[in-house]
Amino acid sequence: METGNLADVTIYIALVVSTLRMATPLILAGLGGVFSERSGVVNIALEGIMLISAFMGMLISYYTEAPWLGVLSAVASGVLVALILAVACVRYKSNQVVVGTAINIFSLGFTGFMLRKVFEHAGQSPPVTKVADWTIPLIHKIPVIGPMIGKHTPFVYIAIVAAVISNHVLFETKLGLRIRAVGEHPKAAETVGVDVFAIRYLCVLLSGALAGLAGASLSLGFLSQFRENMTGGRGFIALAAMIFGKWTPYGTLGACILFGFADALQILSQTLGLTFIPRDFLLMAPYILTMAALAGVIGRSVPPAASGVPYERQK
Amino acid sequence: MSSTGKDLEQPRSKMLYISREQRIELLIPVVAVFLALLLGALLVIFIGQSPIKAYSALLKGAFGSKRDIAETLINVTPLIFTGLSVAFSFKCGLFNIGAEGQFIMGQIVAAWIGFQITGLPTVIHMPLAFLLGALAGGLWAALPGYLKAKLGVHEVINTIMMNYIALYFSHYLLMAALKEPGQIPQTPAVAATARLWRILPGTRLHFGLILALGAVCLVYYLLFKTTLGYEIRAVGLNPHAARYSGINVSRDIIIAMTISGALSGAAGAVQILGVQFRFLDLFGFVGYGFDGIAVALLGRNHPFGVLAAATLFGTLARGAVTMQSMAKIPKQIIGIIQATIVLIVAADEILRRLMKPKETEIQGSQDAGEVELGGDR
Amino acid sequence: MLNKAKGIPVVEMHDITVKFPGVIANDNVSIDLYPGEVLALLGENGAGKTTLMNVLYGLYRPDEGEIRIRGETAYISNPNDAIRLGIGMVHQHFMLIPPFTVAENIVLGVEPVNSYGRLDMDKAVRDVEELSNQYGLIVDPHAKIEDISVGMQQRVEILKALYRGADVLILDEPTAVLTPQEVDELAEIMRSLVDQGKSIIFITHKLQEVIAISDRVTVLKQGKCVGTKETQNTTVEELAQMMVGREVVLSVEKQEAKVGETVLRVDNLHAKGPRNLPALRGVSFHVNAGEIVGIAGVEGNGQKELVETLTGLRKATSGHIYVDGIDIVNSQPRTLIEQGVAHIPEDRQNRGLILDFTVAENFIMRNYYKPPFARGINLDYGTIHTHAKQLISEFDIRTPHENVPVRSLSGGNQQKVIVARELSSEPRLLVASQPTRGLDVGAIEFVHKRLVEQRDKGKAILLISLELDEIMSLSDRILVIYEGQIVGEMTAREATERELGLLMAGGRSKQGLDAERSAVNVQHR
């Protein structure tokens, strides 16, 4: 490919494909963050949950050669790890950030330990069967559009659909109304008979399931193996995207695509002739944008009022 | 809020007075470490090895020879700094989860001062590189402190964001300006005049350990013996009362974040000037910052507790390497043990409930009453 | 008016006892409520009114006692049970979710859904409109709570209860945050609800509202039931006595005041209170050296804002505060401390003390930064401890030693720590806000004695208290605050409880109040 040939359509195809690739795990984890924080629990353990799930998904696929079973177990382990967060923070009112940090430390140790224990090998797992790509009938035949969006790993489509469903649940169902109420003013919710603890448990576990899916997308979708610390901070970018997206599913979706696009530009900067922007600044962009949004420089992001505050029941 | 009114009826000797609460407070970290090591032992059994062999290999690796002890202490040194850093922010009611980023900024600035300037005597060059590294970390933390104090933006998210910004920014600085000629992405080595003294002949043990011990004393002094420390602790415990007592709460938040960041920056500087001698391109976080959170929590945010916790974690980290080679136990087991300790200390409510006797009958004393009843809050 | 003697009560609470650690919040309290009446639950803050209503609404479980609803024993263990029994509660701090719309708030927990399980907000809006027309509670279902007035928010709270089919409404301090116009509107609404067969319990500490709105009134004091009266057969004075009188009559021995020069002069002070409503509306007064000036008033008439403005914790919107002739309005708290303003705050645990600091450390809270406690940046712990030991013995604070956290002291001893600290700073002016609230008799006497002692040493003392007899027995001069204004001033000698009670209730004089009352009654009928 010629450097800097912006008339070449393959560049744009590569850009879109790369954007979706980078955005997908962020979208899934970010939606997890939305549910958790909307119910009032800060989940900085997304990173760790993703990592453990990526490992468990790989492991089951390795043993069974059934990648979808791997995906299922990734989701299950995501829920299981999230259960630790839920019990410690909802039931026992521990500091949510500390417990999240502990889970992140644990995930690095656990996956590294298991990698050596199972494969007697550090760094990465052997290749496993990954989930086969999906081809969208008809669409994949359209020129330009087809190669862009017609054939991807299922996780790409799952992520988009998950955003649509999340938005529906959060804003168009009574469960969603209750979740948002609990995250804003748990006591008010309880006085009208909403079970604050049940809602928070549900949301944290759901957040674990989505982060688990995000983990599976890494080891069974885009790659077909587990690598040590393969999440590489994606859990935190997802958190940033959730904030930048103002704690809404579509906002998060948009922010993830934006951040994914920045990442894709960075990857393709040579090809695109974008060398005048240092790649590092493209990598930094999500974090700087998020800080700016929090500080109110670009449309202030305000978290759910009760986010991070353990709920204390009355006598 | 449990009242220990009865205990107070009979004055006891001042030195011996430790309330039940305080006993539990001291017991929790010990129980956490014990349970975590027990879990480690179970994991060792799980992979078909002997826990006794494993732990003795660990101890041998950490303390088996002069060199091992020195290497253990080299591991402990940055943990003391980052542990103090996180603990200091906690004392002001802040959660500096950005030690990692401040560490990186300390590294890169210390390396830069170390190799860029030449011809200075050691007594000037070494402290200069160290202090400017610390200052870089301090300034990196001052921004989230400022945003918290002036705009009320929670410091947790901002410090996480700044970890990643530091990671990429350091890479940018390295590639754009500080890289030594050649293929390897690293700075030139720091001048001999900027390097920390070796303090144990035949080993790599360096003066950074003394600096770290100095920092422990300094933080203790600052927190508990000075007016600034009094203010910072007051803000951390009760900002309303702090304001009532005339303390400038926003100012103290910024100062506390800056000092906390400087301690993490110092950790980075010490690693450069004492161990690595050059800034190496980072592909991810080194982990001293996150470990600092574990150290601070286990050390109950007290400088001496931090010293003890850093020693424990540094020992485990060093010993794990030997354990891996001698007993074939993945060294990552240490991460699991560490996370378990943090989790137990964080979820101390569980332990408290187990250790506390059932709430006894309500005390009738009238003046134990709260100011407001009737559920007004 | 309906005849209450007929029919069974819709609510009966018998011998309810609620204990909190260290305190009995309700002690064998009984009330009953008949269909179609307004029962006022009257008492001071901390008398146990809200606790009792939280029991009825299922938020607290009583330790003893029985509840009957429409004659049948009821077990109410959570708000859902209460809602099922037709009980609705409007909390003092509204239980509304600010970024939600009116309709969303009203239907939360009992949301209408369409056949696909989707939240049916159109139906919710229709239901709300219907309900709001039926009861004349006009609201905009689409408006967000954070954008509407407090009065409007209160309507939403009432609609929320009605939407759940409540026919017993509990209103907790409904007028506390309302403007006078909104209070009138609320009275109107309550009447129309009762006309439609609802029964209402409303919690208040404002005597005038009891007279204007209720049919019967039950008075609570320190967790106990003092009595129940037909509103027609009682007077403001009688209620005031039932409400405020202390069981132990405390007399304070004191000499004639030797009044010196003016220390504090407040000139046309304005400040805002909760929700940015004006709380101080042109307050002017002065306090001289060697005298205690008491500010009497019913809670929520601007006392809190006055104290905070005087001590630098709240910004005044206009006006001046002079201490020894220097205008210190809107200065930082530290500047005021330096000017010799000491402050015994009302909220001792959240503001006056750092509970996890030791007794010794709490003693230096307001002057830790200067000698003799600080030398440069260093704290002189030797001096700090000596100082602490001295204060502990001087003020008879019961603590094993000065190094225990103040948290482990009893409430009375915690207050002594504050009093000791503030008095030992040798202030020019002492602002004492509710200095004896929640204390036992011994501690009250102690604090009173110390205040008089300070007066005799020539300090200027401003005493803010809700306890009328405390004001009367300690003060040399008494000011009455009502709705953010000083409405009366008299010397302690000429003051009578009756006269003060009238002024506190917003009446200008006995005749004025009588006229007002008969006007209200006419309206009522």
Of B226, B366, B371, Cβ closest to residue C377: B226
Among the partner-chain residues A99, A236, A283, the one whose CB lies closest to the CB of B160 is: A236
Contacts of A281 in chain B (CB under 8 A): 168, 172
**Distance from B31 to chain C by nearest Cα, in Å?**
24
Query: Which residues does chain A have within 8 Å of residue B335's beta carbon, measured at their own beta carbons?
Result: 105-106, 108-110, 112-113
Q: Go through the domains of chain A in sequence order and give each one's CATH number.
A: 7-123+149-294 (1.10.3470)
Interface contact A113-B335, CB threshold 8 A? yes
Closest residue of C to B372, CA-based? C46
- State chain B's maximal CA–CA distance in angstroms: 79
Burial (CB count <10 Å: 0-12, 13-18, 19+), residue B23 = exposed
Query: What local confidence, expressed as pLDDT, does residue B47 receive?
Result: 85
CA proximity to C189, closest of C146, C236, C134: C134
Cβ pair B375:C51 closer than 8 A: yes
pLDDT on residue B99 = 95
In chain A the first and final C-alpha atoms are separated, in Å, by 70
Q: C114 in contact with B at a CB cutoff of 8 Å?
A: no
Give me the mean pLDDT over the C79-100 stretch: 90
3-state secondary structure of C384: helix
> Can you say whether residue A188 is alpha, beta or left, with left for phi > 0 and alpha for psi between -120 and 50 degrees?
alpha
Name the least confident of C244-253, C307-316, C461-470.
Answer: C244-253
State the virtual CA torsion across B228, B234, B240, B243 in degrees, nearest 10: -20
Partner-chain contact B342 A229, CB within 8 Å: no
C-beta of residue B3 within 8 angstroms of C-beta of residue B363: yes
| C61: chain A residues, CB-CB within 8 Å | 315
Question: CA torsion sign, A65 to A69 to A74 to A76?
Answer: negative
Among A173, A181, A191, beta carbon nearest to C91? A191
The rounded distance, in Å, linking the Cα atoms of B75 and B208 is 11
Pairwise CA distance, residues A66 & B123, whole Å: 64
- CA angle (C490, C496, C497) in 5-degree steps: 115
Is there a contact between C61 and C50 (Cβ–Cβ < 8 Å)? no
pLDDT the model gives residue C515: 44
Q: Which residues of B touch C356 (CB under 8 A)?
A: 237-238
B367, C366: Cβ pair inside 8 Å?
no
pLDDT band of residue B377 (cuts 50, 70, 90) is: very low
> What's the rounded Cα separation, in Å, for the pair B295 and B246?
33
Kindly report the nearest CA distance between residue A184 and chain B, in angstroms: 17
Question: Mutating which of C404, C406, C444 best tests the B interface, going by the most B Cβ atoms within 10 A?
Answer: C404
Q: What is the pLDDT of residues B315-354, one digit of tens each?
A: 999 998 888 888 888 888 988 999 999 999 888 878 777 7
- The more confidently predicted of residues B5 and C17 is C17
User: SS in 3 state form for chain B?
Assistant: CCCCHHHHHCCCCCCCCCCHHHHHHHHHHHHHHHHHHHHHHHHHHHCCCCHHHHHHHHHHHHHCCHHHHHHHHHHHHHHHHHHHHHHHHHHCCCCCCCHHHHHHHHHHHHHHHHHHCCCCCHHHHHHHHHHHHHHHHHHHHHHHHHHHHHHCCCHHHHHHHHHHHHHHHHHHHHHHHHCCCCCCCECCCCCHHHCCCECCCCCCCECHHHHHHHHHHHHHHHHHHEHHHHHHHHHHHCHHHHHHCCCCHHHHHHHHHHHHHHHHHHHHHHHHHHHHCCCECCCCCCCHHHHHHHHHHHCCCCHHHHHHHHHHHHHHHHHHHHHHHHHCCCCCHHHHHHHHHHHHHHCHHHHHHHHCCCCCCCCCCHHHCCCCCCCCC
Band (C411; pLDDT cuts 50, 70, 90)? confident
Contact call for residues C400 and B11 (beta carbons, < 8 A): yes
Any residues with CB less than 8 A from the CB of C81 and at least 6 apart, and which? C58, C74, C75
- Beta-carbon contacts below 8 Å between B and C: 163
B375 pLDDT higher than 80: no
Contact B242 C440 (CB under 8 A): no
User: How far is Cα A18 from Cα A12, in angstroms, rounded to an integer?
Assistant: 10
Query: Does any CB of chain A come closer than 8 Å to the CB of residue B150?
Result: no
Percent of chain B clearing pLDDT 90 (strictly above): 64
Residues 6 or more apart in contact with residue B117 via CB below 8 angstroms? B125, B128, B191, B194
Flag whether pLDDT at C3 surpasses 60.
no
Tell me what pLDDT residue A268 has.
87
For the stretch B214-273, pLDDT in tens is 999 999 999 999 999 999 999 999 999 999 999 999 999 999 999 999 999 999 999 999
Is C251 in contact with C473 (CB distance < 8 Å)?
Answer: yes
Phi, psi of C75 (to 5 degrees): -110, 110
The token pair that represents C75 in the structure block: 């077990």
- Of A174, A185, A192, which has the smallest distance from its Cβ to C119's Cβ? A174
Residue type at B152? Answer: G
The yes/no answer to whether this complex scores an ipTM above 0.90 is no
pLDDT at C2: 44
Q: Which chains, if any, share at least 3 CB pairs under 8 A with chain C? A: A, B
CA distance, residue B196 to nearest chain A CA (Å): 31
Pick B228's closest partner by Cβ from C377, C412, C437: C377
Q: Smallest CA–CA separation between B15 and chain A, in Å?
A: 32
CB A251 within 8 A of CB A244: yes
Identical fold for domains C1-86+167-246 and C259-340+428-525, yes or no, is yes
Instruction: Kindly provide the b/e burial profile for residues B32-64, where b requires at least 16 CB atoms within 10 angstroms of the residue's own CB.
Output: bbebbbebbbebbeebebebeebbebbebbbee
**What is the spatial distance between Cα A93 and Cα B353, in angstroms, rounded to a whole number?**
13
Of B240, B246, B369, the CB nearest to C350: B240
- For chain C, the distance separating the N- and C-terminal CA atoms, rounded to the nearest angstrom, is 7
Q: Which of B161, B332, B346 lies at the smallest CB-CB distance from A109?
A: B332
The rounded distance, in Å, linking the Cα atoms of C417 and A184 is 38
Low-confidence ranges of chain A (pLDDT < 50): 1-4, 315
Which of A167, A168, A174 would best serve as a mutation to test chain C binding (most C beta carbons within 10 A)? A174
- Strand ranges, E, within C133-277: 168-172, 199-204, 216-221, 224-230, 262-272
Name chain A's partners: 3 or more CB pairs within 8 A.
Answer: B, C
Helix, strand, coil distribution of chain C in percent, nearest 5: 35, 25, 40
Nearest CA in chain B to A43: B157
**CATH class belonging to C1-86+167-246:** alpha beta
Choose among A109, A49, A85: nearest CA to B337: A109
pLDDT at C343 over 60: yes
Q: How far is A182 from chain C (nearest CA, A)?
A: 9
Beta bridge partners of C306: none
- Which of A191, A195, A246, A311 would you mutate first to test chain C, the one with the most C CBs within 10 A? A191
Mean pLDDT rounded to a whole number for chain C: 86
**B46-100 pLDDT tens trace:** 888 889 989 999 999 999 999 999 999 999 999 999 999 999 999 999 999 999 9
| Angstrom distance (rounded) from CA C218 to CA C195 | 22
Bridge-based pairing state of the strands C460-464 and C429-433? parallel
For residues A272 and B117, what is the distance between their CA atoms, to the nearest angstrom? Answer: 39
What pLDDT is recorded for position C244?
66
- Say what percent of chain C tops pLDDT 70: 93
Distance from C79 to chain A by nearest Cα, in Å? Answer: 6
Q: Do B334 and B324 contact (CB within 8 A), yes or no?
A: no
Looking at the partner chain, which of A109, A284, A295 has a beta carbon nearest the beta carbon of B168? Answer: A284
Q: Which residue has the higher pLDDT, C466 or B1?
A: C466
Distance from CA of A188 to the nearest CA of B (A): 13
Residue pair C335/C366 in contact by the 8 Å Cβ criterion: no
C-alpha to C-alpha distances, B122 to B209, C53, C63, nearest whole angstrom:
18, 74, 74
Measuring CA to CA, how many Å separate C456 from each of B104, B345, C97, C264? 63, 54, 52, 17
Interface with A, mutate which of C17, C97, C111, C163 (most A CBs under 10 A):
C97
The verdict on a CB contact (< 8 Å) between C334 and B12 is no
A228 contacts chain C (CB < 8 A): no
- Whether residues A192 and C91 touch (CB distance < 8 A) is answered with no
Residue B2 pLDDT grade (very low, low, confident, very high; cuts 50, 70, 90): very low
Cβ within 8 Å, pair B370-C347: no
Q: Which distant-in-sequence residues (6+ apart) come within 8 Å of A207 by Cβ?
A: A32, A33, A35, A36, A41, A43, A46, A82
In CATH, which superfamily holds the domain spanning C259-340+428-525?
A: P-loop containing nucleotide triphosphate hydrolases (3.40.50.300)
Between strands C168-172 and C87-90, the pairing is parallel
Mean pLDDT value across residues C156-185: 86
Phi first, then psi, for residue B261 (nearest 5°) are: -65, -40
Residue range C108-152, pLDDT digits in tens: 988 999 887 789 999 999 999 999 998 888 899 999 998 888 788
| Residue A181 three-state SS | helix
Place of tokens 């159109």: C122
Give C99's contacts in chain A (Cβ within 8 Å): 184
Q: Which of A225, A203, A181 is nearest to A37 (CA)?
A: A203
Indicate the domain borders of chain C.
Answer: 1-86+167-246, 95-166, 259-340+428-525, 350-426
* Interatomic CA distance for residues A52 and A45, integer angstroms: 11
Tokens read off for A200: 């928070």
Beta strands A134-135; A151-152: pairing state? antiparallel
